[in-house]
Amino acid sequence: MKRTCLSLLLLATIIVGSGASTAMRARNQPVLSFMFWGDAAEYRENVAATKEAARSLGVQVKNIQSGNYDTDLPTRIAARNAPDIFYVADWRVAGFASKGVLVNLDPYLAKDPTFKRSDYTPQSLEGLTYKGHLYGLPRGFSASVLYYNKDIFDQMHVAYPSAKWTMTDLLDAAKKLTTKDHWGLMLHSGPGASDKPTFNWFLWQYGTDWLNPAGTQCTLTDPKAQSAFQYVLDLTYKYHVSPTATEISASGGWSGSVFTKGKAAMVMGPQRWFYLYAPLLGPDAPKFHWSVQLPPLAVDGKHRYSYPGYAGMGIWSGSKYPELAFKVGSAISKSVGQRIIAGVGSDMPAFLPALHSSAINIAPDRQADRISVDALQYTRIPHYPENMAQIQSAIDHDLANLWDNKDTVANATKTLCGDINPLLK
C-alpha cells in the first residue's frame, strides 16, 4: 500500500515538476532547493505545501527529502552544499545561528508587511529565536499529551484520564491497567536511550530543570531532578507498568507501534505527531477507540506543563537567493501551507488562522483535536544551548545504562553534569 502510494506520488511529482521546470527555464528563473525530513506520508504534505507556495510566487522549488536528516543536513552544510531552505528544529537553532549557518530573518520581516508576528503562536516564534533575532519561519509544533486506549479503560473499569489528574493518579491508573496483555503506560522516545522520554517534562513536573536559569550549569544532581529520574525508572523496574527496551523492540519497536497494536493503555508523547507516524489515522489505523487528555498536573498540584517541539524553515546563509527563499518560506508558513500541514496530522499549525480552523479536525474523537490546541498554552521552551548537538551525544551516552537499570540516578547524573558543564562555557 505504502509502496503504491509512494510510486504514484513520485510520478505526480515528476509530471508536475517537469512542466514547471520547463516553464521556469524559459523565463530564466532561479531554482530554489528545499530540504525536509519525513517519510512518504509527510513527503506528500511537504510537496503540496511547497508546490502551492512556488505557484503563487512563480518560482521553481526543488524538493530534497532525507531519511537521515540529522546527519545529511550538517554534512551538506559542512560541504558548503546546503539547500536554500531547510527544516530546522528548535533544538538546533542556537547552534546553527551561532555558527552563521542561518540567515537572520528580522531585516526581511521588516520589509514584508504581510508577515505579522501576531498571526503565529508566540511559543513558535520564541522557539526559533536566538539572541533576540528570528532565524526560522514557523512551520508547526507538537506538544506532549496523554493518549489513551478507551477500550482498555472500559475493559478494566478504570475512569478515563481527566484534566485533574496528578502524577500519582497517572501511576495509580497505570498499575490498574497493566496486565499480561498490555502495559499501563508508555513513554515516547526523546533525549536518553531505550525509548525513554524527553526528560525535561519530568523535571518540570518536579519543579526543576536540567540547567540553571542562566544556562551555564547542569543541575541534574539537584534532589528534585533525582526524584524525577527515579519516577521514570520506577515505572519500569519497580512497578512494571512500562516495558523495558527489549520488550519494546519485541512489541513493535517504538512506543507508537506498541500503542497502535493495543499493547499499551496510555502513552505520553507528542500530540499530532502520533496521528501520522503511529499511525492513528488512515487505512492502517487501529480498530480500538482512542482519545487524548492534557498531561497530568505537576507534583505541586498547581502547574501543568506540555513539552513542545517546534519546527521552522531556515534559510542558508550561503544561499544565492536569500530574499526569494524568504518569500517561499514565508508563503509556506502562512494559510495554504499551514492548512495542508494540519490536514496531514504530523504537526499542529503555528499559523493561528489555521490552528483555529476546521482543518485541524481530523481525529475520530474530537476531544483529541481540541486537546491538541489546548496543550499549546502549557508549553514551555526548553534550554537549548549552542552546543546542543554535542550535549545530546553526552546525554545519550551517559544515561544509556541508567535507562537499562544498570546505573544509579546519582552516579549517572553526576557523570552527565561533569560532561555537560564544559560544553556550556
75-89 average pLDDT score: 95
**Residue 183 grid cell:** 502495559
**Residue 328 grid cell:** 517561499
Q: How far apart are CA 2 and CA 42, in angstroms?
A: 12
Single residue among 317, 339, 364 that ends a domain in this structure:
364
Report pTM.
0.88
Q: Say whether both 396 and 319 belong to one domain.
A: no
Q: Say whether both 218 and 205 belong to one domain.
A: yes
- Residue carrying the nine cell digits 540567515: 103
Q: Say whether both 41 and 71 belong to one domain.
A: yes
Nearest to 313 by CA among 64, 89, 8, 57: 89
pLDDT at 5 over 60: no
Helices 2-26 and 40-57 cross at an angle (nearest 10°) of: 20
Q: Say whether both 132 and 159 belong to one domain.
A: no
Rg of the chain taking only CA atoms, in angstroms? 22
Residue 350 resides in a domain: yes
Nearest to 142 by CA among 334, 350, 366, 363: 350
Q: Say whether both 135 and 35 belong to one domain.
A: yes
What's the pLDDT at 28?
Answer: 65
Q: How far apart are CA 322 and CA 108, in angstroms?
A: 9
pLDDT tens digit sequence for 100-136: 999 999 999 999 999 999 999 999 999 999 999 999 9
> Is 102 within 8 Å of 116 (Cβ atoms)?
no
Cα-Cα-Cα-Cα torsion 148, 149, 154, 155, nearest 10 degrees, comes to -130
- The DSSP element (H or E) to which 103 belongs, if any, is none
Q: Say whether both 317 and 285 belong to one domain.
A: no
What's the pLDDT at 9?
Answer: 33
Domain span at residue 317 reads 2-140+308-364
The number of beta carbons lying within 10 Å of the beta carbon of residue 14 is 10
Cα-Cα-Cα-Cα torsion 192, 194, 199, 202, nearest 10 degrees, comes to -160
Band (pLDDT 50/70/90 cuts) for residue 196 is low
Residue 356 resides in a domain: yes
Q: Say whether both 30 and 166 belong to one domain.
A: no
Distance of CA 260 to the CA centre of its chain: 19
Alpha helix stretches (DSSP H) within 31-84: 40-57, 69-78
Q: Say whether both 298 and 239 belong to one domain.
A: yes
pLDDT at 148 over 60: yes
Q: What is the per-residue DSSP string for 225-258?
A: HHHHHHHHHHHHHTS--S--HHHHHHTTSSHHHH
Residue 162 resides in a domain: yes
Q: How many residues does the chain have?
A: 425
Q: Say whether both 12 and 35 belong to one domain.
A: yes
Terminal CA-CA length for the chain: 51
pLDDT at 188 over 80: no
pLDDT tens digit sequence for 22-57: 333 435 678 999 998 877 667 777 787 888 888 888
What's the pLDDT at 7?
Answer: 32
Residue 370 resides in a domain: no
**Residue 287 grid cell:** 480498530
What's the pLDDT at 302?
Answer: 94
pLDDT at 168 over 90: yes
Beta bridge partners of 313: 87, 137
242-263 average pLDDT score: 85
Residue 60 resides in a domain: yes
Please give the tally of structural domains in the chain: 2
Q: Say whether both 94 and 22 belong to one domain.
A: yes
Residue 151 resides in a domain: yes
Residue 340 resides in a domain: yes
Residue 402 resides in a domain: yes
CATH of the domain at 53: 3.40.190.10
Q: Say whether both 171 and 235 belong to one domain.
A: yes
Q: Say whether both 158 and 183 belong to one domain.
A: yes
